[in-house]
Each structure stands twice: as structure tokens, then as C-alpha cells.
Amino acid sequence: MPKLSPRAYKLSWDAHSATGIVIGLALFVLFATGALLLFRGEIRQWEEPALRAQPGERASLDALARPVLDSLGQGEAPPSYVYLGLPDTNHDPLYVYAAGSTGQHDVWVNPATGAWVTNPDQGAVTQTLYYLHFFYQVGLWGLYFAGLVGLFGLLAVTTGTAVHLGRIVKDFFQFRPGKQLRVAWADAHKVLGTIGLPFQTMYVFTGAYFGLVGLVALPYASLLFGGSMGDYYREAGYYAPTVQVDSVATAADERPRLERLAARAERTWPEFDPKTMIVHGMGTAESRVEVVGRRTGTVFGGTGSIVYHGATGEELVREAPAEAGALNRAVQSMETLHFAEFGGTALTILFFLLGVASCAVILTGNLTWLEVRDTENRFVNRMLERLTAGVATGFLPATALLFLAGQGLPASTAHPEWWIDGIFFGSWGLAVCHALIRRNVARTHRSLLVAGGALALLLPVANGLVTGAWPWATWAAGQWAVLGVDVGAVLCGGAALGVAAGLDVDAAPPEGARSAPAGPADRDAPRPDTTELKRA
């Protein structure tokens, strides 16, 4: 393996550590929420009993969508724009977004019962996690910030790989938990980083694109598409080609038969799987229906689309997946990879574990940097150490409370999403404050792990008490999504309690190591007890 010159090594190391320290905690939030959101469909069913799988066949798209659209349009004026996210399986909910003169709405519909819940008034747990994944609580700037974090994450991955390139194989087989703390953290950082390198590279790359696409597309939109971002997204395979639709006066009030059009689209090409349907001008003479999909089982490939006349059902234009342009193929392949839309449940679980490992890579890198500077005893380092504990470990109890709040809020609560956001961010903020004022960081980690683990273990209990869906009932009903979340919560809770039990918060520090923390809360305090955050 080639080695860097000493100067290049030092500069690369500095670039890697500076980038990691600046973006580390934000990147941790992206990976932690991303790992959870790999199961967003399951979590949505867990928090919304109306969306849980029920026995019976999936109802037709028309039967599912019509009551929703009638309700949103008050039965008179159908929404002018309707977007349907089609279910992948018979148990997945149908997503409906409708916009028109009555405003815009989006709902999830149970594919068997037709029951629907609005988003985000209900389904707020998934929504909160989803928005946090790209900091959308602060709007578009949050999204751009997430993209920048991804971009600098790419820099951190590159510089980190360059630094370790000369001994990447040796480091991979080296983990010495019995050595000094900084050695143990550094070993864990390098081993986990090497294992997850392709995974992390893929996620920071695709994450940077999805976060920054609104800015990335600007030069293209202005240069090539007359300033239209919609045309850029069309080129990227999200929409069908534009087409002129002639009006048909004789069928002006006829709504398109969605199920029939989806079935026709599915038969257009071998293994074509319609993913979305978009209806423009529903119920008008110029109505058109776009069906966009991709070939089943493909990871790298673009979307194909067919456009039908909404009133007559006549096929207006088609573009096969095999004829997709380079941008379409590139962007849609990134979508498939980023959202783990391939490989089934086993791959989703693997991605979840790699996501958790990536969180560990970020934290061990952070902790290594802090341990190396432990003797400097700088206020900023002490605060960063505590902030890391509050933000990272505090995320666990806050998330568990988020899930509990999703089940525990009374149905009559107005604006439940406000309460749920308040409980989540409030408890997370409390965890950070707790970490900042407590001088023993190891004990902070342990207390937050115990709180988070205990709360996570309560999730199946809360679900059973509130909805009656105890694990044995969901097993019998075949509600695997709900059961999976319950089991996942128990496993996560058990793991957190196990780590907490393994932390040796009273271990003696290495000779000549740490002196008194210098935070404001400590200035009048006695010298700290000899505590270290150590693996047992």
C-alpha cells in the first residue's frame, strides 16, 4: 500500500480530525435517524393502528383513493394534482398527496380497510424522525446543511482512508480494548470504519446529493431548462415526459380508473413495477395520468414512465426503463441505494447495523480526539466531551420517549405533532443540559443509557396497553411490522442496558492522565473522582 509523506500525513490527519470534530455530532444525528428510518414503514404502522396489516386482499386503488379525494375535495371539485405512492406489497399503506383549491393534504391509507390517517397530524413519530434526518425542522436551510454535512463527511472519509492507507489491513485486525482508552477508541474507530467504509462512502455521497440537490440543480436549471427545476427532476426520472393533452368534451367529468391504468402500465414492459402515479387535472377534459416505475429487482437503473389520457385512457407517450438517460439512471440508482429499496428485509437489517456502526465510528473518532487532548485540560474539550455524551447518548432516551409519546397521547389531543416534537426535543435538550452540568462524563453516559434502555423496554408494553397489540397478538395476526418494532425496541433497550452495565465508571485513570475538568460548574468543586469511561 502507498504511504503518505510525513507532511501529507500530518495535514491529512488534521483535515480528518478537524472535519470530524466540526460535523461529527450532526453526522451522528443523520446516521442515527437514518438507521431508524430504514424501518419507517414499520414504525408508521407501529404508531398508527389504523395502518396495520389486516387480513384480506388489497382493495383497488380507486376504492382506496376515492374516499380520500372526495373528502379533500368536498366531493365536488377534485384536487387538480394527485400523487400516489403505490404500495410495494399488499400490506404497505398507499400514500396520497392531493393539492387543489382546498389546499394540500397528504394521507396514508390502509390497503385492506381503506382507513386513512393524515400526515403529520397523525403519524408524527415517523414525521419527526424523518424531518430530523435532514434537519427540516428549520426548513430548507436545514436540508442544505444536511447536504453540506454529507459533503464534508465525504472529505472525512477520504482523508481518513488516506491516513490509514499504508496500514489499513494491519489496523483492521487490531483491537486492543485492554490498552489505554485512547488506543481502544482509536482501534474501534479504525476497525469499524474499515468495515463500514463502502457503506459510509455511499451514504455521505448520496446524502450530499439529496441534501444539496436544490442547489446543485440550479446551474443546470438555468443553463438547460429555462430556470425550471421541475424539468431537472423530470430529466432525473421522477416524472414522465411532458405531453400535450387534447380535451375530450364527452368525458369531461369522468375520473381516471387508477387501478386499470396501473395494471396496464405493469403489463407494458416485462418486470415493470409501477411506483408512483400522478394525476393532473383530475376530472377535467385535459386530465392526464403519469405512471412512473422501474424494473423489479434492479438496483442500478432508471425509471420508465407511461402517460395516459385521464378521460379516455388513451396512451399518450411512453419511455421504457431501458431507454432512461444517464442522469435518470444515476439519480434513481442513488435513490435505490440510499433508501435501501433492494435486497429485502435482511439487507435492511444489515444496513441498520452498519448505520449503528457508523454512529460508533463517529463517536469513537470524537472520543479519540478528546482522549489525546485529555492532559490539556481545556474548557472547550471538557464541554465537547459532555456535549458528545448529551447529544449522542441522550438521543436514546429522547427517541424512546418519542415513541412512548406517540402511543400515550390521547386521541383527542389537538395538534399531537406539537406535543410529540416538544417531548422529543425537550427531553433531548434536558439530556444535553444534564450532560453539560455533570462533571463525570462516564456516569452521564451510564445514566442516559439506563434511562434510554429502560424506556425502550417499555415500548412493547405501551403498545400492548394502548392498542391491545401485545407481541403474541401481532404474531398471531401476522402484523410483522408491528412485532418487528417491538422486538427491535427490546433488543435496543437490552443492548443499551448491557453497555451501561459494562461501563466501569470508577476505574482508575492511566498514570499521569486526566486532571480536573475546568467547566464552570466545576470551579468550586473538589477534584474529580478518578473516573473513566471504560469498557469492562
| Interacting residues with another protein (CB under 8 A) | 7-15, 17-18, 151, 154-155, 158-159, 162, 205, 208-209, 216, 219-220, 223-224, 235, 325-331
| Euclidean distance between CA atoms 464 and 506, whole angstroms | 39
Q: Which is nearer to another protein, 10 or 179 (CB)?
A: 10
Residue 77 and residue 82: Cα distance in Å, rounded? Answer: 13
**Residue 197: CB minimum distance to another protein, A:** 15
Tell me the closest approach of the beta carbon of residue 328 to another protein, in angstroms: 7
Maximum distance among all Cα pairs of the chain, rounded to whole angstroms: 89
CB of 151 to another protein, least distance (A): 7
Q: Three-class SS of residue 56? A: coil
* 8 A C-beta contact, residue 23 and residue 15: no
Residues sharing a CB contact under 8 Å with residue 495, sequence separation 6 or more, in sequence order: 453
First to last CA, the chain: 35
The DSSP bridge partners found for residue 511 are none
* Shortest spacing between CB 207 and another protein, in angstroms: 11
- Give whichever of 186 and 356 is closer to another protein, judged by the CB atom: 186
Q: Tell me if 112 sits within 8 A of 59, measured CB to CB.
A: yes
Q: What order do you get walking across the sheet with 315-319 strand by strand?
A: 116-118, 103-109, 94-100, 81-85, 272-280, 288-295, 304-309, 315-319
Question: Per residue in 364-375, is it b (16+ CB within 10 Å) or e — as a string?
Answer: bbbbbbbbeebe
**Angle at which helices 326-338 and 197-224 cross, to 10°:** 140
Nearer to another protein, 151 or 245 (CB): 151
Q: State which residue, 23 or 331, has the beta carbon closest to another protein.
A: 331
Shortest distance, position 17 Cβ to another protein, whole Å: 8
User: 160 or 397: whose CB is closer to another protein?
Assistant: 160
Of the pair 10, 176, the CB lying nearest another protein is at 10
E-strand stretches of 202-257: none
Tracing cell 375535495 back to the chain, one arrives at 73
Among the listed residues 184, 180, 182, the one whose alpha carbon sits nearest the alpha carbon of residue 510: 180
For residue 535, give the DSSP letter: B
Fill in the DSSP letter of residue 458: T
Return the C-alpha cell found at 83.
400523487
Within 10 angstroms of residue 246's Cβ, the number of other Cβ atoms is 11
- Is the Cβ of residue 216 or residue 349 nearer to another protein in the bound state? 216
Measured between alpha carbons, how far is 535 from 187 in angstroms, rounded to an integer? 13
CA distance 479 to 52: 7
Least Å distance, CB 326 to another protein, is 4
CA 424/CA 421 separation, integer angstroms: 5
Q: Name the residue nearer to another protein (CB basis): 204 or 505.
A: 204
Q: How far is the CB of 297 from another protein (least distance, A)?
A: 23
- Closer to another protein by Cβ: residue 8 or 140: 8
CB of 322 to another protein, least distance (A): 14
The SS3 assignment for 205 reads helix
Q: How far is the CB of 488 from another protein (least distance, A)?
A: 33
- Cβ–Cβ under 8 Å, residues 307 and 300: no
Nearest approach in angstroms of CB 9 to another protein is 8
Residue closer to another protein (CB basis): 271 or 376: 376
Is the Cβ of residue 183 or residue 454 nearer to another protein in the bound state? 183
Q: State the nearest-atom distance from the C-beta of 10 to another protein, in Å.
A: 4
